[in-house]
Structure 1
């Protein structure tokens, strides 16, 4: 009897340890290659690193240099323009599409994949496609000229003052369908009894959405804001594929700045400091969201 009890106890312990043993290599890789490199980047930002890592401590000198660079301020300004328009337009389009699809329209099963398809593409593919489409020599402008509209002009991608908005257009095209799916899931999760009760009380469709539906979608709005902010801050491949950061530095963003100063200008310390600031910005957005999601409900 004691032997059987010991055998059962051994099997129970083995079953408890197997998942931990299976996950331990992945966990170790994450600790080393994600959090370990984050700490290493943080350390480099306080050193006099150039082409190769250096261990000469310089304190906050790299951060002082960073905020004194006009290129960094250009990147910050572009990020403010891009992130604001990207988040607002994506949210508006996603919510509108979700409300339309929630009306049980015919062909919903076909429209949903069409709206979601751009998100299946990589940002490199999206940037390349929109680069061809917006190029005045081979894209939309050239096509309109071939069709007879000789006065049509759309050269934003070549215009220093308008090029940043082409990044917004491409990013919104790719992501708005994903935001739509988030809002649609939120709409489908609303209790129909609440909506029926409001309709019985005489609420119009406008008041129904303004006073009941939109407030109940607050978690979806918050999730969309966090995801879109994260994508905006770390945007790199879309910019490189679409404009290459140009013309000049008209579409420079913090991510492209970090890469150029680390690998092209061989100022690894300054590039690391810009990466740390990007990380702190994302953390400032993510931490309150995670706290609100993980805290125990009273």
Structure 2
């Protein structure tokens, strides 16, 4: 014998679905719907305005024939490699130093984390002033009497991409430090004490025991920083605007320039689809491994 639910019980059962329905519909349309639209535009003859004439993979062929696109990919490789390596290395070093239970740890942790509280626009603008030969570091060294000092990377087409990496590492190192510090504080102290009783030195303990135990943190940090590197836009625009010329172009700035400045929506959509595919290739395996671990 089945009993019918009261209106209040039915409402309580449906309430979670009713609350989530608007956000679900909005996300479905404005995220996945626009992703699908962008994918179709990349297969169309769109130029200044959307043109839904299907042209297959012509835009992708034009994309990979573009010298500027290959410059953007090369810059992404340089920036991404430096950003990942130095961001993780400096962050791990800072975490190890703070893990020694030093005085004023809270103050130092706040100082190291502060750059992450800033937007990439602020970071790029600040480093643009610091690295400007006529305003920042070079001018300061000349005023201090070092007339031969020269640091013109910001206006040097061959070195400008390294200034983007410097600014990116400066902002991300504190965030990486926080992740590694949380991992260090989660390691069982009894393991470390047993290693010390056995006569292992502190550097050996970190190298042989602690750092290998941080493998999940390394993996998570690598995923986050890789995602940030691939979609870097605001830092580049604030610091170099893709210049000199297009020497510091990245895939995100290339997409913006083609779609909104050069009037080539189809080519911009193709580059955005390539970026989306690259990010998905990084994020999807990470999400799959996380879900499988929880199960």
Q: Partner of 1:161: helix, strand, or coil?
A: coil
Quote the Cα distance in structure 2 between the aligned partners of 1:243 and 1:148: 28
Q: Partner of 1:295: helix, strand, or coil?
A: helix
Quote the Cα distance in structure 1 between the aligned partners of 2:200 and 2:192: 9
1:34-78 Cα deviation digits (max 9, x unpaired): 111111111111111111111100111111110000000000000
Quote the Cα distance in structure 1 between the aligned partners of 2:196 and 2:10: 57
Q: Does 1:256 align with 2:250?
A: no
Counterpart of 1:126?
123
Q: Partner of 1:142: helix, strand, or coil?
A: helix
Give structure 1 stretches of 5+ with no counterpart: none
Give structure 2 stretches of 5+ with no counterpart: none
Quote the Cα distance in structure 1 between the aligned partners of 2:226 and 2:158: 23
Quote the RMSD (CA, aligned, Å). Answer: 1.6
Quote the Cα distance in structure 2 between the aligned partners of 1:25 and 1:156: 49
Aligned equivalent of 2:266, options 265, 269, 272: 269
Quote the Cα distance in structure 1 between the aligned partners of 2:183 and 2:116: 19
Aligned equivalent of 1:164, options 152, 157, 161: 161
Please report the TM-score for the alignment, with normalisation by the length of structure 1: 0.95
Q: Partner of 1:248: helix, strand, or coil?
A: coil
Counterpart of 1:102?
99
Counterpart of 2:177?
180
Residue pairs, 1:1-298, within 5 angstroms: 6-7=5-6, 10-296=7-293
- Which deviates the most, 140-149 or 130-139? 140-149
Quote the Cα distance in structure 1 between the aligned partners of 2:10 and 2:200: 59
1:297 deviates by: 6.0
How many pairs are equivalent? 294
1:188-246 Cα deviation digits (max 9, x unpaired): 11111121222222222222112211111011101111111011000011101100101
Quote the Cα distance in structure 2 between the aligned partners of 1:202 and 1:139: 50
Q: 1:61 to 1:17 in 2, by over 3 A?
A: same
Quote the Cα distance in structure 1 between the aligned partners of 2:209 and 2:56: 52
Quote the Cα distance in structure 2 between the aligned partners of 1:40 and 1:6: 43
Superposition misfits of 4+ residues, deviation over 4 angstroms: none
